[in-house]
Amino acid sequence: MSLPVHPIVVPPEDVDDPAPGERPAAPAPGRRPRPRRATSWRERLEIVVFVLPALALMALFIAWPVASAVRMSLYRWRGFGPMDDFVGLRNYERVLTDEVFTQAVVHNLVIVVLSIAIQLPLGVGIALLLNRSMRGRGLVRTLIFVPYVLAEVIAGVIWFQLLIPDTGVVDGLLSGAGVTPPDQGFLGTPGLALWAVFGVLTWKYLGLAILLFLAGLQSVPEEVHEAAQLDGASWWQIQWRIVVPLLGPTIRTWCFLSMIGSLQLFDMVWVLTGGGPANATTTMASYLISQGTQRSNYGIAGAASVVLFVIGVAMAALYQRFVLRRDTQVER
Amino acid sequence: MNRGNPATYVIALAVVALSVGPVVYGALNGFRSNEQLATDPAGLPDPWRLENYSAVFTNPDFWRYATNSMVVAALTTLIAVGAGVLAAYPLARYDFRLREPLFMVFVLGLLFPLATAIIPLSIFISRDLQLSNTWWGVALPQAAFALPVTVVILRPFLMALPRELEEAALIDGASRIGVFWRIAIPLSRPALVTVGVLAFVASWNSYLLPLLLLQGEMRTLPLGVADYSTQYSADTAGVLAFTTVATLPALILFLSLQGRIVNGLQGAVKG
């Protein structure tokens, strides 16, 4: 899984907001604050009827499987017969001491760090440059969004073809430029494979970052530029001292989404390398899926799922606590 | 203000070329033969050959995969948008004690990645529901995972709709359900399109759940493309043609509605 289309919308600031709808500043035109009266019987019934299908779907297909993963993680189970060989925390012990899994955690974290260290400055820089007036801006925006719309699998298949050793285009272009490509290809060399995967991910997701930052730049008022220009600031000074800080909330939201996406990485790795060579690109998700489907180690897969989930929630909570908190405070 | 700074155009051109290059490369090489590809990997088609593309369009497997993708994506979208707008409406319009906790359930749902639940989920669908290798077996869980974001986008939109129309209708004796159906739904059509397209494209592109649940003739396009590319890995041009055609529907849908979607998302990002 990768940065999915949707969570662009996560308003993490709202997470522990007691009642966003009742803030006096709530931007709801025509809405007066009103005293809450007792909910009538009829209304309660309507609420239940309205909300029930969604809650039932989520209970059945999200909550129940997640609970089953926790249960599964406490048993040794090969996928058939009753689940009755209770082993306590031994699956966790095995997962956390399995070098393939700890390496997978490292790979996920490397992708998290690289995304923020490389895609963020690249995305912000390109967005700043594209924010100037130019002809065909709409077309440019549409075209840089193309990789994001492709399925990760399809992007992976195309790049797999481009990266084929010797006969692929990338190797061809490199040889043409006098650089010797690696013998086994970028995806086949253990030291390079993770970088190659990261490169393809950057290709796929940079457009989204640029687009989000461009959207954030729309809210920087024009007067700011003019005022700073009158004071004799150069273009770069204006960008660095004024515009980028104003872009802060968008940048922090993007980092959050990128982090969550990097932790769930699966499709691209599965198509490009299958986790190889020699486990050089295994991620937590590819580990648990190969344990669950190819080896029928359901207990191990369950334990790995729980670890993945805990790491994700812990990082989200820390991020919310230490980084996003600032936005909430500033905005109020 | 800068107007048409040459550096801006150079950067824009470079970024566009890098973004679109691989896709265009795939599309162009679909028009070449494998011999042409082998002798000159970076050349243009000469002559242009239509065989690879006509092979895709006459391949019954392609149409099978495309139908499966279409049906699964349509079911996913209908269920997610239907159940989503139903749930978002009382969360936006009714005042009740559990309203915010209930909304929190949907916000928290965003934190559950499919990968965490996938193994038990596929066992549940194939053994308990007997829905493995069916459209519904993929569409139902995909809709469930699309619901949190659907509700999180729709609720603020519904809250921002003016209440007066609905109140007037209620005073005139319309039922709450009638108001929902006749007033709230038509007014929220732009937001419904946004969440609908997001759900559709996510389903069209999804890989993990189909990978574990669908085989043979029930496979969807991403699965078909991945399998085709490993099965016929020697036929590079054929693989590229197949891949190119498989991307077109989502690409067209998304790009034609892009302005709308991006505007919707921008509003959401700004909160």
CATH number (domain holding residue A157): 1.10.3720.10
Question: In this structure, what CATH number is given to the domain that contains residue B184?
Answer: 1.10.3720.10
A67 inside domain:
no
B18 inside domain:
no
**Which of A32, A57, A294, A311 should we substitute to test contact with B (largest number of B Cβ atoms within 10 Å)?**
A57
**Which of B2, B5, B19 should we substitute to test contact with A (largest number of A Cβ atoms within 10 Å)?**
B19
Could you tell me if B240 lies within 8 Å of chain A, comparing CB atoms? yes
B116 inside domain:
yes
pLDDT digits (tens, 9 = 90+) for B189-208: 888 988 898 899 889 999 99
Compute the distance between CA of residue A321 and CA of residue A323 in angstroms, rounded to an integer. 6
A178 inside domain:
yes
A27 inside domain:
yes
A234 inside domain:
yes
A65 inside domain:
no
CA B128 to chain centre: 27
**pLDDT tens for chain A, residues 1 to 332:** 333 433 333 344 333 444 444 444 444 444 455 555 567 888 889 899 999 999 999 999 999 999 999 999 999 988 888 888 898 899 999 999 999 999 999 999 999 999 999 999 999 999 988 887 778 888 888 888 889 888 899 999 999 988 988 878 888 888 888 888 888 889 999 989 999 999 999 999 998 899 888 888 887 888 888 888 888 888 888 888 888 888 888 898 889 889 988 999 999 999 999 987 999 999 999 999 999 888 889 999 999 999 999 999 999 888 888 887 766 554 43
| Domain carrying residue B70 | 63-270
A61 inside domain:
no
Query: Across A83-170, where does the E strand assignment appear?
Result: 85-86
Residue in A126, A133, A153 nearest the CB of B225: A153
B255 inside domain:
yes
Q: How many separate domains does chain B show?
A: 1
Q: How many separate domains does chain A show?
A: 1
Could you tell me if B171 lies within 8 Å of chain A, comparing CB atoms? no
Complex prediction ipTM: 0.87
A76 inside domain:
no
| Domain carrying residue A239 | 6-35+91-331
CA quadruple B245, B246, B247, B253: dihedral positive or negative?
A: positive
Residue type, A184: Q
CA distance B268 to chain A (A): 5
Which letter does DSSP use for residue B172 in this model? T
Q: Which two tokens stand for residue B188?
A: 């929220």
A53 inside domain:
no
- If we measure between CA atoms, which residue out of A141, A220, A14 comes closest to residue B153? A14
Are A275 and A287 spatial neighbours (Cβ–Cβ below 8 Å)? yes
| Cα Rg, chain A, nearest whole Å | 24
